[in-house]
């Protein structure tokens, strides 16, 4: 698939915004301005942006615990995503959900999810609903390599294939489930190979190459949209940070991290843009625009009011 230079520039800026957003979030944690933990997707931005840019804005997204990139790739307002993380009323769920329980139906975003593999049946069920309603949208479900060891993955793929549901399964294979290397937990060589057991086409793709991801995702989405049933895309990537905050990363070497960082998808996209004749000044202005957007988002979120007790109980139905 030929990605236009304009589209590549948009993708570059969006990926930068995701990285800057999470770096800003890290600073807020360091200043003790929010509690709990968070799972950063720094290093994996290509997966979110490449996939989401390859499908329609009306297609439905289902995310996992590492979802900030998916939310921002879809075009949600970073001030409202940050507000949600900070428990502010301007957040997409009024500050009640936080990082792992954030949804935005108006953006066709069916939620982040803290349960490993929990989003896979949710997305499969949404696809069943779309099929019943004879609608043209598809569902994209993001999950990790670790989640592909869960029963939810296998049961969902089996059913989705049997019923030819309009769902694209996107596995961000970052090589680890917490501290557990994929090689120690997966009997199959690749997650894509597992799709074959359910008669679903599976493809493995370089998750650091934005053009490769956009191309593969567009092809897989076209298969799904044509009514041929589900498809699975495995994106090989790496999380540059620990699994969550306070992870000393004793289960992997600094050399391994450095090797992957040399193939940082944002840097590779910058090189592609330079090769296409985009000037360093143009790239600098994209970077400045991203910085300004995230700075403003953090300020807006910090200034937004928190919910009170009555607000916290809103939306409780049982």
Ligand X SMILES: Cc1ncc(C[n+]2csc(CCOP(=O)(O)OP(=O)(O)O)c2C)c(N)n1
- Nearest distance in Å: CB 19, ligand X: 16
Q: Does 121 bind Mg ion (CB under 5 A)?
A: no
Nearer to ligand X, 90 or 156 (CB): 156
66 binds ligand X (CB under 6 A): yes
What is the closest distance, in whole angstroms, from the C-beta atom of residue 112 to ligand X in the complex? 12
Widest distance between CA atoms in the chain:
58
Which helix (H) or strand (E) segment is 102 a member of? Answer: none
- Measured CA to CA, the distance from residue 38 to residue 29 in angstroms comes to 9
Footprint on residues 150-189 left by ligand X (CB under 6 A)? 174, 176-178
- Taking a C-beta distance cutoff of 8 angstroms, is the pair 103, 92 a contact? yes
- Check residue 17 for interaction with ligand X (CB under 6 A): no
Position with the least CB separation from Mg ion:
144
125-144 residues near ligand X, rule: CB under 6 A = 143-144
What's the rounded Cα separation, in Å, for the pair 252 and 127? 37
Q: Which long-range contacts (CB under 8 A, 24 or more apart) does 106-109 make?
A: 107/57, 107/74, 107/75, 107/76, 108/57, 108/58, 108/59, 108/60, 108/61, 108/74, 108/137, 109/60, 109/61, 109/63, 109/70, 109/71, 109/74, 109/76
Among 77, 145, 211, 234, binds Mg ion (CB under 5 A): 145
Among 65, 74, 80, 194, binds ligand X (CB under 6 A): 65
**Taking CB under 6 A as the rule, does residue 145 contact ligand X?**
yes
Q: Which residues are at the interface with Mg ion (CB under 5 A)?
A: 144-146, 174, 177
Site residues (vs ligand X, CB under 6 A)? 65-66, 114-116, 143-147, 174, 176-178, 243
């Amino acid at each position: 698939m030929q990605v236009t230079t304009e589209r590549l520039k948009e993708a570059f800026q969006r990926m930068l915004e995701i990285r800057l957003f999470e770096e800003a979030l890290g600073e807020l944690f360091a200043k003790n301005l929010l509690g709990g933990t968070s799972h950063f997707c720094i290093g994996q931005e290509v997966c979110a942006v490449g996939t989401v840019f390859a499908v329609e804005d009306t297609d439905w997204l289902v995310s996992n615990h590492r979802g900030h990139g998916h939310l921002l790739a879809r075009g949600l307002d970073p001030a409202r995503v940050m507000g949600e993380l900070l428990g502010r009323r301007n957040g997409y769920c009024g500050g009640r959900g936080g990082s792992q329980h954030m949804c935005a139906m108006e953006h066709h975003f069916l939620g982040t999810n803290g349960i490993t593999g929990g989003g896979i049946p949710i997305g499969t069920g949404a696809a069943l609903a779309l099929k019943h309603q004879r609608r043209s949208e598809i569902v994209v479900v993001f999950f990790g390599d670790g989640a592909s060891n869960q029963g939810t993955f296998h049961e969902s793929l089996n059913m989705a294939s049997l019923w030819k549901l309009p769902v694209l399964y996107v596995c961000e294979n970052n090589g680890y489930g917490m501290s557990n290397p994929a090689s120690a937990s997966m009997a199959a060589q690749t997650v894509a190979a597992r799709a074959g057991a359910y008669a679903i086409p599976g493809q493995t793709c370089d998750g650091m190459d934005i053009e490769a991801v956009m191309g593969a995702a567009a092809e897989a989405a076209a298969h799904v949209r044509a009514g041929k049933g589900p498809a699975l895309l495995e994106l090989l990537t790496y999380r540059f940070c620990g699994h969550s905050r306070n992870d000393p990363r004793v289960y992997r070497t600094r050399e391994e991290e450095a090797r992957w960082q040399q193939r940082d998808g944002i840097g590779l996209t910058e090189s592609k843009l330079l090769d296409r004749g985009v000037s360093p000044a143009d790239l600098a202005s994209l970077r400045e625009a991203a910085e300004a957007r995230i700075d403003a988002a953090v300020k807006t979120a910090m200034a937004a009011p928190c919910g009170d007790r009555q607000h916290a109980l809103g939306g409780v139905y049982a």
